[in-house]
Amino acid sequence: MQRHDLATDDLRSLNAALQAQAAHTNQTEWEVLNPRGAHAIAVGLDAPIDVTVNGSTGYYCAGMNKQARIHVTGSAGPGVAENMMSGTVVIDGDASQYAGASGHGGLLVVRGNAASRCGISMKGIDIVVGGNVGHMSAFMAQKGSLVVCGDAGEALGDSLYEARLYVRGSVKSLGADCVEKEMRDHHRAELGRLLAAAGLDHDPGSFRRYGSARQLYHFHVDNAGAY
């Protein structure tokens, strides 16, 4: 176990050490103490290592993650796991705005609530939120799945492309071009896999699915007057 205490060690040396891990490193277990809301903890990792952050983090924790499994035992500030490529990020508490934004792959689990713009412009990442998500979540989401076990705020999935949205609770409102869609067997199977990966045992049958009506993909002559 490698241990970095941010009360005494500086953040750059922590990130440099984490980023320096090779694919076959023997140093696979890392622990970060006293994060106290610091920014950019455990960013840019590219090795199959486990990092546990004991406490709450500030902006951009676990950004650009590849391969690593990062676990934050507190809450995360804005932009957690932004632009993740692969790996897993788990937040035991809440996540602030734009969690998992722009992510290409991997799994982000927020056990508490995620604030506004969760999964904005997601491009293949899977996000599972144990609680609620705020307004404009999955705005312009292109690929991947957003699972919300609680309620979704206003304008869910506005200008959505091909991402799949599963919500167990209420949806305050759907954004432009986002509609409820039929839940088919392969959706239930996918949802079941994601819930299991997140350690949640909700019945996939208790969720509703939302997706793109695909009406904004191309110019439509009836909309000419709007330009």
Partner 1 sequence: MCGIVGLFTKTEALRPALGQHLSGMLVTLSDRGPDSAGLAIYGAERAGRIKITVQADDPARLSALDIPGAEIRVIDSHAVLTLPEEAAPEAEALLRATPGLRVMGAGTRIEIFKEVGRPADVSRRFGFDGMQGTHGIGHTRMATESAVTTDGAHPFSTGPDQCLVHNGSLSNHNSVRRRLARSGVTVSSENDSEVAAAYLTREMAAGKDLGQALTSALDDLDGFFTFVVGTRTGFGVLRDPVACKPAVMAETDDYVAFGSEYRALAALPGIETARVWEPEPAQVYFWEA
Between residues 120 and 149, which has the closer beta carbon with respect to partner 1?
Answer: 120
Between residues 57 and 65, which has the closer beta carbon with respect to partner 1?
Answer: 57
Between residues 132 and 212, which has the closer beta carbon with respect to partner 1?
Answer: 132
| Closest separation in Å from C-beta 197 to partner 1 | 26
Q: What is the DSSP letter of 46?
A: B
| Closest separation in Å from C-beta 38 to partner 1 | 7
* DSSP calls for 63-90: TT-BS-EEEESS-B-TTTTTT--SSEEE
Query: Binding residues for partner 1, per CB under 8 A?
Result: 36-38, 56-59, 75, 77-78, 93-94, 96-97, 115-116, 134-135
Cα–Cα distance, 113 to 116 (Å, whole number): 10
| Closest separation in Å from C-beta 78 to partner 1 | 6
Radius of gyration of the chain (CA): 18
Between residues 49 and 70, which has the closer beta carbon with respect to partner 1?
Answer: 70
Contact (Cβ atoms closer than 8 angstroms) between residue 110 and residue 129: yes
| Closest separation in Å from C-beta 158 to partner 1 | 13
